[in-house]
């Protein structure tokens, strides 16, 4: 399937070949960035973020500007748009459809990106729908892994922290399943990987282990994908208090890991990675965030039919 006019709702809508095409296009855009400075001239992106965001929102907006396009934005739409008067997401998207060429949405409800996509024929990009998925973060994560290791195949990947509510974990585990991985899911029992995702992995014959203790498996890992405990998704503050600060990586953790381990994190972090780790070559989470720009430039160009893999 081509990319022009396609929605980006779930990473599962993309084949291995599709994923590699996005990564190759992102690499081309990064390498020859000047060449694409007018690729989206005359196009408008609408960003509608119903939850806070720094990286995803800014990198999409910056990507559009870098490609010569423009953006219109709603932040806090529930207080600054007609949604405050009771307008639904569906109707809001139907209106925005008339003002732009492509739409990026983040919303706290699972399935909201699909609701948005059903309201318009224009491409809709899911920038996070509740605890469900965050597919453009996954393209960014895979791009970072490929750029760093020169490959994605056959890696041993640990996921640490909030695997229940961490939408980036759900999307990344699905996508990595194409690449013969072994997974180590490290979390407190109350925040373990949801059964529906484990079932999907078993069906795909993906090998995985679950543990609460990072040090039991840390020597095995090529990649450690750290996540924040998603405080905003807890129904009960007492449940959050029980797991708050449960994993805190410090520099001495590197003594318990392979020398060439790479630590990723979708960010923002709270206290799960001590800033003293930032200076080590193993820590690539800020590079990962910067890579999001090239990935989102590639996606915007591909979905609007203006940038193709070389
Ligand atoms: N990784 C990520 O989605 O960051 P933001 O919430 O800042 O967009």
Report the alpha-carbon distance of residue 292 to residue 266 in Å, rounded: 10
Which residue's CA is the closest to the ligand 1 atom numbered 5? 53
CA of 112 relative to ligand 1 center, distance in Å? 17
Domain residues of the chain, as ranges?
Answer: 11-133+290-303, 135-288
pLDDT tens for 215-250 read 999 999 999 999 999 898 898 999 999 999 999 999
Fold of 11-133+290-303: Rossmann fold (3.40.50)
197 pLDDT exceeds 80? yes
Taking a C-beta distance cutoff of 8 angstroms, is the pair 297, 29 a contact?
yes
Which residues does the annotation mark as catalytic? 55-56, 85, 106, 134
Taking a C-beta distance cutoff of 8 angstroms, is the pair 152, 142 a contact?
yes
- What single-letter DSSP state applies at residue 150? S
pTM beyond cutoff 0.85: yes
Residue in the block written with tokens 């910067």? 290
Fold of 135-288: Rossmann fold (3.40.50)
Give residues (CB < 6 A) around ligand 1. Answer: 53-57, 134, 137, 266-268
309 pLDDT exceeds 80? no
Looking from the CA of residue 106, the nearest atom of ligand 1 is: 8
CA of 144 relative to ligand 1 center, distance in Å? 16
Which residue's CA is the closest to the ligand 1 atom numbered 4? 55
CA of 197 relative to ligand 1 center, distance in Å? 22
């Amino acid at each position: 399937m081509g990319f022009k006019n396609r929605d980006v709702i779930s990473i599962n809508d993309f084949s291995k070949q599709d994923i590699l095409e996005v990564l190759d296009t992102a690499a081309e855009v990064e390498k020859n960035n000047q060449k694409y400075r007018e690729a989206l001239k005359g196009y408008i992106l609408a960003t509608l973020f119903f939850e806070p965001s720094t990286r995803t929102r800014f990198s999409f907006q910056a990507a559009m500007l870098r490609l010569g396009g423009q953006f219109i934005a709603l932040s806090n739409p529930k207080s600054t748009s007609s949604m405050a008067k009771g307008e639904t997401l569906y109707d809001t998207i139907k209106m925005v459809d008339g003002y732009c060429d492509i739409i990026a949405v983040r919303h706290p409800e699972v399935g909201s990106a699909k609701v948005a996509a059903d309201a318009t024929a224009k491409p809709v990009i899911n920038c996070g729908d509740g605890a469900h998925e965050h597919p453009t973060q996954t393209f960014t994560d895979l791009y970072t892994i490929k750029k760093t290791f020169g490959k994605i195949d056959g890696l041993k990947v640990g996921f640490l922290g909030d695997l229940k509510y961490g939408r980036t974990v759900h999307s990344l585990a699905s996508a990595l399943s194409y690449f013969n991985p072994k997974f180590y899911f490290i979390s407190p029992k109350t925040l373990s990987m949801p059964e529906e995702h484990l079932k999907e992995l078993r069906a795909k014959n993906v090998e995985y282990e679950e543990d609460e203790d990072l040090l039991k498996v840390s020597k095995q890992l090529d990649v450690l994908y750290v996540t924040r405990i998603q405080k905003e998704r807890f129904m009960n503050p007492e449940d959050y208090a029980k797991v708050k600060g449960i994993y805190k990586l410090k520099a001495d953790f590197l003594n318990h890991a392979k020398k060439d381990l790479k630590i990723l994190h979708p960010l923002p972090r709270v206290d799960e990675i001590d800033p003293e780790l930032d200076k080590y070559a193993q820590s690539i989470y800020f590079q990962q965030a910067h890579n999001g720009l090239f990935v989102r430039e590639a996606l915007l160009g591909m979905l609007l039919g203006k940038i193709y893999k070389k």
